[in-house]
Amino acid sequence: MGLLTFTINVTLDGCVDHQEGIVDDETRAFFTRLMDESGAMLWGRVTYEMMESYWPAVARGDEEAPPAIREWAVKLETKPKYVASSTRKDFPWTNSHHIAGDLRMGVQKLKDATPAGVLLGSGKLATELDRLDLIDEYSLLVHPKLAGHGPTLYQSGLPAARRLELVSAKPLRCGAVAMHYRRAR
């Protein structure tokens, strides 16, 4: 069984707005390594639609992008992508699959079928999957910034606190820190 790892950019005040993070070669390399090491991506509908609106066009060459960005887009194009959604059923982006029905069973089945692990990249979905006790690890890129607005990490709360064990912490040149935690069981 593969691990489910939640990864996201987060500011010091908990903001997970994708526009608030520092984007440079080192932060891109962080997320590229995570994607390369995982067997699949898992998103909620909103994140899927945000990604779908840009990355396929970059991979095709329809959008101007530096070579490193295009290379990342091509990798993402080939990576299996799973979407948990109760409102959308059609996911035409290459290698996209719908997780329908019971969320716990669908995600557990995905974990069981993906020995290289699943990379979760949606904040709202992470809250739901944490409530179901399905997240095994957290790989957060903490940015040296106070955004002063939301959305924030776990803003709708969890039923109980989660104890985590630090696996690693690596400061980046831009001041962000790559934090890797594992659930303490």
Give residue 141's pLDDT.
Answer: 97
Specify the pairing of strand 40-44 against strand 118-120. parallel
Which candidate, 157, 160, 114, 164, places its Cα nearest to that of 14?
A: 157
Residue 185 pLDDT exceeds 80: no
Let me know: does 136 contact 6? Beta carbons within 8 Å: no
pTM greater than 0.75 (yes/no): yes
Give residue 18's pLDDT.
Answer: 87
Cis peptide before 151 (omega within 30 of 0): yes
pLDDT tens-digit readout, 106-130: 999 999 999 999 999 999 999 999 9
Report DSSP letters for 150-165, one per residue. --BTTTT--SS---EE
